[in-house]
A = this chain, B = another copy of it.
Amino acid sequence: MVTISDVAKRSGLSKSTVSRVINNHPYISKEKRELVQKAMDELGYYPNPAARRLRGHLKSTIGVIVPRIINPFFSYLVNSIEQTAYQNNFQVLIFQSNENKEKELSFLNLLKTRQIDGVIMTSIENDAEIIHSYTQYGPILFCNEYLNNTDVPSIRVDQSQGAYIGIKHLIEKGHTKIAYCTGGLFAEDGKDKDRNQGYQKALNEAGISLNPNWIFIDQHSIEDGKSVLKQILTMDNCPTAIFTGSDEVAAGVMIEANDQGVPIPNGIAVIGFDDQPLAEMLHPKLTTIKQPISLLGEKAVEGLALMMQKNNTMPENIKLPVELITRKST
């Protein structure tokens, strides 16, 4: 391995001078600078990041926690984060929490040991106090999530608005009996709560009262969606539209509807959330709420980079706008 000493010898200068060239210090003569450059090129020198990190001044690795990378929403998010990180000369350490508290903590601990210099959390398993206690070891930024009563900054999508425009769209299509699926438990904090508020707001504005029988909590997968439609078909008073909260659940609903011979949108209207590629593959094509995933990833990396530069600077909390994509399922 070629070190700074080798470069020093080769150029006939001292280690300090070489170091100054590497770090773009002022007050170096052009002459020596070129000498050093030449020696570095000839030797194929690269600074040793471990040494720099030990010395205390390297910040190059950001950690990303996702619940599961196979969820397309998160693989698109990671895609954007990785691209942006690359442009900013950061490395990305990836980590799946699998919705597991301890696994999440074990990753956060990399902050303690300085294996990562900052963390983007796209999901939250542990309690606010615990997460917050880790901010003493390095910057943490929430992406697509947030925690109340915490000064941990967050970059996210306006979920409330997303649910609002989705439900409103269904109402404008003449629906008043609207089922609602959420990934959360309807009571807790975070992004699911925001959606619930948008849902209720749209209902209120139209003077429609909420029917608790039509609320399905903790729905995530295609299988969940199938099950939702099955349950609905057994009801006496049956909703005519479903807000699914995710394209996967919507897909499940539609697949089951197909199997049961229920026409879409006339038998039942379906609206998704995300606008994944799959939305265009369903029959009929899925109306859905599009989230600006790429932008989400960019803003997250930029925000974290800011926090890593000057540890005190918190970026603004950002809420990105969503968009209704009208297709054939409503």
A interface with B by C-beta (< 8 Å): 46-51, 53-54, 60-61, 68-70, 72, 75-76, 78-79, 82-83, 86, 91-96, 103, 109-110, 112-115, 222, 251, 255, 258, 277-278, 281-283
Contacts and interface: CB of A to CB of B under 8 A. Distances in A.
B70 A72 contact: yes
A82 B110 contact: no
A277 B70 CA distance: 11
A112 B48 CA distance: 9
28 contacts: A48-B113, A49-B115, A50-B51, A50-B54, A51-B54, A60-B115, A69-B69, A69-B75, A69-B78, A69-B79, A70-B75, A70-B76, A82-B94, A82-B96, A86-B95, A86-B96, A91-B93, A91-B115, A92-B93, A92-B94, A92-B95, A222-B277, A222-B281, A251-B281, A255-B281, A278-B278, A281-B282, A283-B283
Nearest to A86: B103
Contacts of A48: 54, 113-114
Given A75-B70, A78-B94, A94-B92, A49 B114 contact: yes
A94 to B, nearest CB: 4
Contacts of A94: 78, 82, 92-94
Nearest to A52: B50
Interface hub of A47, A69, A78, A277 (most chain B Cβ within 10 A): A69
Given A70-B72, A75-B75, A94-B82, A281 B283 contact: no
A72 B278 CA distance: 12
A100 to B, nearest CB: 10
A123 to B, nearest CB: 15
Nearest to A53: B50
A79 B83 contact: no
Given A72-B72, A86-B95, A281-B282, 5 more contacts: A49-B115, A68-B79, A69-B79, A86-B103, A94-B94
Contacts of A103: 86
